[in-house]
Amino acid sequence: MIERFGLLDPEKIMAVLLWATFFSVLFILQKFAWKPILAALKQREDYIRASLADADKIKSELAALEAAKAKILDEAKDKGNTLIEQSRKVGNELAVQIEQRAKKNAEEILTSAHQEIEGERERVRNALKKESAQTAVSLAEKILKENLDTEKNRNLINEAMKDV
**pLDDT tens-digit profile, the chain (164 residues):** 444 555 567 788 898 999 999 999 989 888 888 888 888 999 999 999 999 999 999 999 999 999 999 999 999 999 999 999 999 999 999 999 999 999 999 899 999 988 999 888 888 888 887 887 787 777 777 766 666 566 776 777 777 777 76
Domain ranges of the chain: 10-125
Cα dihedral 66, 70, 75, 80, rounded to 10, equals 120
Q: What is the value of pTM for the model shown?
A: 0.41
CB 157, CB 139: distance < 8 Å: yes
